[in-house]
């Protein structure tokens, strides 16, 4: 029997329920939606979570599509999914947890008697730390971003190669390989011996079907690659960046990009132009380094100093 919150699944069955994490402002209890798919055969445990940033809905789209497709009869091991981590942020479509104005993915492994975000992190980390493999589904918030997988444990970590391999198995095509900030699930979990990555499924307002499908394919690649399901995975070389150059604008106006997401850019090449309302060119910004056009703001209007785009640098293939 695998029990997570109110979900109880004996071998060969599926159950869904709620993982209790406290009370809302009106005093009613609230819990995170959890699904347990317990395979007929024993094996490893995969933990998948989505929407730890409350405006990142593509991961929920992935969970929604994988859970109905997982047959316990065909599964070896257990898949546990928490569909919405940032409960309060999700209710109001905000990135951070509005109860304590905190990004939950900076609070792992959490604290059971801590702040709102720390309690949610602790409740979900309790599941994660019993798993073998963790996928923390994110996206580039509401900015436009390519689909990629982040390896956050850092190059000197004993599980670095394993996390890199997990990112390749997931197989979005792009990998960002840089030690993450303190409190990230994908940075913390490897310290407890769990192979973990943070797939970043594009960037959208609402749902992006193409990124969701890439996420579904990625989860099934992991299920096959790690022996949960029969079948092989054809892993493909991934384009990896180890750093970002972030570009802001020196002037106010309207941005026009010269590149599509995923384009290779060379140092000195124009990334974007800023024009005034009547079309007069005010500034043209060039890339400082070679790299891959990775992320871009959604709205064209910018003020002096405002973020415009990111280029992944130190790029190789592995």
Q: What residues line the site for Zn ion (CB under 5 A)?
A: 53, 56, 138
CB-closest chain residue to Zn ion = 138
Residue 89 φ/ψ, nearest 5 degrees: -65, -40
In angstroms, what is the minimal distance from the CB of 55 to Zn ion?
9
Nearer to Zn ion, 56 or 208 (CB): 56
Given a contact cutoff of 8 angstroms between Cβ atoms, the answer to whether 120 and 104 are in contact is yes
Measured from the CB atom, the residue of 138 and 174 that comes closer to Zn ion is: 138
Minimum Å distance from CB 163 to Zn ion?
17
Name which of 50 and 229 has its Cβ closer to Zn ion.
Answer: 50
Q: How far apart are CA 163 and CA 149, in angstroms?
A: 10
Question: What span, in angstroms and rounded, lies between the C-alpha atoms of 162 and 91?
Answer: 35
Nearer to Zn ion, 53 or 245 (CB): 53
Comparing CB distances to Zn ion, the nearer of 56 and 165 is 56
Nearest-approach distance from CB 34 to Zn ion, in angstroms: 20
Beta-carbon contacts of 130 under 8 Å, excluding residues fewer than 6 positions away, are: 45, 47
Smallest distance from the beta carbon of 207 to Zn ion, in angstroms?
15
Task: Compare residues 17 and 140 and give the one whose CB is closer to Zn ion.
Answer: 140
The least CB distance from residue 177 to Zn ion, in Å, is: 17
Query: Which 3-state string (H, E, C) describes the chain?
Result: CEEECCEEECCCEEEEEEEEEEECCCCCEEEEEEEEEECCEEEEEEEEEECCCCCCCHHHHHHHHHHHHCCHHHCEEEEEEECCCCHHHHHCCCCCECCCCECHHHCCCCCCCCCHHHHHHHHHHHHHCCCCEEEEEECCCCCEECCEEEECCCCCCCCHHHHHHHHHHHCCCEEEECCCCCCCHHHHHHHHCCEEEEEECCCCCCCCHHHHHHHHHHHHHHHHHCCCCCCCCCCCCCEEECEEEEEECCCCEEEEECCCCCCEECCCCEEEEEECCCCCEEEEEECCCCEEEEEECCCCEECCCCEEEEEEECCEEC
Q: Pick between residue 165 and residue 200 the one whose CB is nearest to Zn ion.
A: 200
Closest approach, Cβ 76 to Zn ion, in A, equals: 30
The residue (of 180 and 190) whose beta carbon lies closer to Zn ion is 180
Q: Which is nearer to Zn ion, 78 or 116 (CB)?
A: 116
Least CB distance to Zn ion at residue 115 (A) = 19
**Closest distance between Zn ion and the C-beta of residue 288, in Å?**
26
As measured in angstroms, the least distance from the Cβ of 143 to Zn ion is: 11
Q: How far is CA 165 from the centre of its chain?
A: 17
């Amino acid at each position: 029997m695998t029990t997570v919150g109110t979900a109880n699944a004996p071998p060969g069955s599926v159950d869904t329920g709620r993982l209790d994490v406290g009370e809302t402002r009106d005093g009613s209890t609230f819990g995170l939606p959890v699904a347990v798919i317990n395979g007929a055969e024993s094996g490893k445990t995969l933990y998948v979570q989505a929407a730890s940033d409350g405006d990142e809905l593509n991961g929920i789209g992935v969970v929604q599509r994988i859970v109905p497709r997982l047959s316990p009869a065909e599964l070896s091991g257990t898949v546990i999914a928490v569909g919405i981590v940032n409960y309060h942020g999700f209710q109001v479509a905000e990135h951070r947890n509005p109860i304590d104005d905190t990004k939950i993915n900076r609070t792992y492994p959490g604290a059971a008697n801590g702040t709102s975000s720390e309690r949610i992190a602790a409740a979900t980390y309790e599941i994660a730390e019993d798993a073998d493999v963790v996928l923390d589904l994110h996206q580039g918030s509401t900015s436009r971003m390519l689909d990629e997988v982040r390896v956050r444990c850092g190059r000197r970590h004993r599980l670095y190669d394993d996390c890199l391999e997990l990112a390749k198995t997931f197989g979005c095509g792009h990998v960002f390989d840089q030690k993450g900030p303190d409190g990230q699930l994908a940075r913390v979990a490897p310290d407890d011996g769990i192979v973990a990555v943070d797939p970043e499924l594009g960037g959208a307002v609402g749902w992006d079907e193409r990124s969701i499908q890439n996420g579904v394919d990625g989860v099934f690649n992991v299920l096959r690659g790690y022996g949960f399901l029969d079948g092989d995975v054809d892993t493909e070389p991934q384009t990896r960046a180890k750093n970002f150059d972030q570009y802001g604008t020196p002037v106010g106006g309207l941005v026009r990009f010269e590149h599509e997401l995923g384009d290779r850019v060379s140092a000195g090449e124009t990334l974007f132009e800023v024009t005034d309302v009547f079309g007069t060119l005010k500034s043209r910004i060039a890339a400082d380094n070679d790299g891959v056009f990775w992320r871009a703001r959604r709205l064209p209007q910018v003020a002096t100093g405002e973020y415009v785009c990111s280029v992944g640098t130190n790029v190789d293939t592995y």
